[in-house]
Structure 1
Amino acid sequence: MSTETATADINAIHEIVATVERAQQAKDAEGFLKLFHPDALWTTAHGKVLIGFDAIAEFTRAVLPNAVFEGPVTYEAVHVQFLRPDVAAVKVRQVYHSPDGDTEGAPLYVMTKGEDGRWLLHACQNTQVKTD
């Protein structure tokens, strides 16, 4: 993988994470769902396992529009590790900002690059960070 290609892919991956943030903040289920591979799997921060796009879509459409956030939620890709040129493990820092203090999540997104060059969420685990 050339340096130029790696830089373009890292920028594209950062943009996917930024789109996750925008979709979450806007409670935009459809915008969020556009980021997933058809064969994706997702595990929520509370351990609910969703296998396949249909399960992810059903859960997201039921939960995200009614989600209650006491402040903004931010997402930052803090590390990108290419497993292959078309597969990346992405460590994300997720922060729920609220008047009572911030809480964090530490998602891991395994993303794949399709033949069209688009990166998609493929296998994701969201983990709540305990501070106790």
Structure 2
Amino acid sequence: MHTDSAARAADIEAIKQVVAVVEHSQQHKDPDEFLALFHPDAVWTTAGGKVLIGLDAISEFTRQVLPAADWDGKVTYEVLHVLFIRPDVAAVKVRQLYLSPDAGSEGAPLYVMSRQDDGRWLLTACQNTAVAAG
């Protein structure tokens, strides 16, 4: 495998791992695990349209809503597409499914992630969009 291809494959795997940790943190309603994935200057827009700028605002919101969330923890996240904007910046399209015996719902988050100097990928600018039923 060409070195650039190997590096790109490693980045995609690292990005998928971040999304897997998002999934795990949501399933276990763990704010600390979730918040560790964010760049300090991150921007997050919730599915309801609330704009959160910076880790402090994201943290305050997350610590209020995540532990109190009304789902039973059954949620999945799947990386659908990764677009490298630059070698260290990627737009990541995700499919989010909340599953329950009654009914489920779907989200279509877009995560712009940035690779840090230490090689970690962090959530940097994210939009969590609810998918309308039907």
Bin of the TM-score, shorter chain as denominator length? over 0.9
**Equivalent in the alignment of 2:35:** 33
**Equivalent in the alignment of 1:68:** 70
Say whether the 8 Å CA contact 1:91–1:106 is kept in structure 2. Answer: yes
Cα distance in 2 for residues equivalent to 1:119 and 1:91: 15
1:68 Cα offset (Å)? 1.2
Structure 2: runs of 5+ lacking an equivalent:
none
Say whether the 8 Å CA contact 2:99–2:105 is kept in structure 1. Answer: yes
Indicate yes or no: 2:56 matched with 1:54.
Answer: yes
1:66 Cα offset (Å)? 1.1
Partner of 1:66, secondary structure, is coil
Cα distance in 1 for residues equivalent to 2:72 and 2:62: 19
**Equivalent in the alignment of 1:8:** 10
Structure 1: runs of 5+ lacking an equivalent:
none
**Equivalent in the alignment of 1:82:** 84
Indicate yes or no: 2:122 matched with 1:120.
Answer: yes
Cα distance in 1 for residues equivalent to 2:33 and 2:100: 24
The residue type equivalent to 1:59 in the other structure is: F
1:101 Cα offset (Å)? 2.4
1:99 Cα offset (Å)? 1.1
Say whether the 8 Å CA contact 1:21–1:75 is kept in structure 2. Answer: yes
User: Over the residues paired in the alignment, what is the CA RMSD in angstroms?
Assistant: 1.1
Which portions of structure 1, spanning 4 or more consecutive aligned residues, are displaced by more than 4 angstroms? none
For these two proteins, the number of residue pairs brought into alignment is: 132
The residue type equivalent to 1:128 in the other structure is: A
TM-score (norm 1): 0.97
